[in-house]
């Protein structure tokens, strides 16, 4: 097995174009609510308000494209990095946890909770 890193910058797309076709699958958006009734919703009466809300977000970036060759066949691959984080909002303290990694490593780096100044 042989790995070859493509020298072309991934931000410009692949150095070799492939034939991609438009998906034939139509999105079904009216499963729970008809499309024309989409709007903000109030919670049902009696709904318990949570003590905190956690926002989670992440990103993935392609660092380099590669070709993985074995015998006479070759398949495309990527080298990628990623990061994810979460922020808990409870109106009293602020805290955040982030994770990042490349090639499978995921060190955790929690931040120190801070009290909001009054």
At 18-55, the pLDDT tens digits run 666 777 888 888 888 898 998 888 889 999 988 888 88
pLDDT above 70 as % of the chain: 71
Cα 106–107–111 angle (5° rounding)? 130
Position 46 scores a pLDDT of: 94
The sign of the torsion formed by the CA atoms of 99, 100, 103, 105 equals: negative
Q: What angle do CA 17, 22, 27 make, to 5 degrees?
A: 145
Cα 90 from Cα 88, distance rounded (Å): 6
| 78 strand-pairing partners | 65
């Amino acid at each position: 097995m042989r790995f070859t890193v493509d020298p072309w910058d991934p931000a410009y797309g692949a150095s070799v174009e492939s034939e991609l076709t438009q998906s034939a699958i139509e999105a079904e958006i009216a499963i729970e609510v008809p499309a024309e009734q989409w709007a903000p919703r109030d919670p049902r009466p009696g709904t318990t308000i949570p003590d905190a809300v956690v926002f989670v977000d992440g990103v993935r970036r392609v660092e380099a494209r590669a070709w993985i060759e074995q015998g006479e066949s070759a398949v495309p691959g990527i080298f990628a990095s990623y990061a994810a984080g979460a922020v808990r909002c409870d109106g009293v303290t602020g805290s955040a946890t982030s994770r990042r990694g490349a090639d499978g490593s995921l060190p955790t780096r929690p931040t120190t909770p801070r009290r909001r100044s009054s």
